Amino acid sequence: MYIQLNGQILYYEKYGEGQPFLLVHGNGETHEIFDVLIPELAEHYTVYAIDSRGHGLSASPKELHYMDMADDMAAFIDALELKAPLFYGFSDGGIVGLLLASKYPDKLSKLMISGANLTPKDIKGRDYRRIRRECKKNPNPFSTMMLNEPDIQPVDLHKIKIPTLVLAGEKDLIKKKVTKKIAENIEHATLVIVPGEGHGSYIEHSDKLYPLLYSFLNK
């Protein structure tokens, strides 16, 4: 399905019934990374699997910015009149979730994120240098955004008052101290470092994520 918001056309798919549950993927990906997770969630929730602007079947602007994506999610919630939605975001989707929950504190009922960073320098050195090399060789909106954004401060995280699950893999490309910093600065946050996992190994096309979300949502 398509919806026009903020002068932007977004593509999304809807599954199941129950409390609304938004899913947002990472940089350069689509909602299809959640192909294993969606059927599990759809047994209990109405799942909205969204392609962020510039990704998948959504329209592509000349530039990409995390705050624009967060504004898209707020407009999506309003346009569909979703009540007390849940939000899960991976990587860039996690950044979008943090921005959404801090700028629009009354939009969500619970927030779940994986592998999110607060600034570009929170990416481990080797991975950051790789992204920079790739962008220099082949400039594109995806890498440009990652190298220049976000800029989320502790004061922004303090605005998030809803229950929040902060996830990262033990071998994540985001520095572990940053993941801990995120959790420490959100009042009602639960931190889980997933043993043996990388940035997306337990998320993309994986059955490992659902039990983590289920445990948080039903504790």
User: Around Cβ 182, how many Cβ atoms within 10 Å?
Assistant: 25
Distance separating alpha carbons of residues 185 and 101, to the nearest angstrom: 13
CATH topology for 2-217? Rossmann fold (3.40.50)
* Burial of 90 from C-beta contacts in 10 A (0-12 / 13-18 / 19+): buried
Q: Show me where the domains of the chain are located.
A: 2-217
| The pLDDT value given to residue 26 | 98
CB 1 within 8 A of CB 66: no
| The pLDDT value given to residue 219 | 83
pLDDT in tens, the chain (219 residues): 999 999 999 999 999 999 999 999 999 999 999 999 999 999 999 999 999 999 999 999 999 999 999 999 999 999 999 999 999 999 999 999 999 999 999 999 999 999 999 999 999 999 999 999 999 999 999 999 999 999 999 999 999 999 999 999 999 999 999 999 999 999 999 999 999 999 999 999 999 999 999 999 998
pTM above 0.75, yes or no: yes
How far apart, in Å, are the Cα atoms of 64 and each of 54, 95, 115, 161? 7, 13, 19, 27
The position carrying tokens 């199941």 is 16
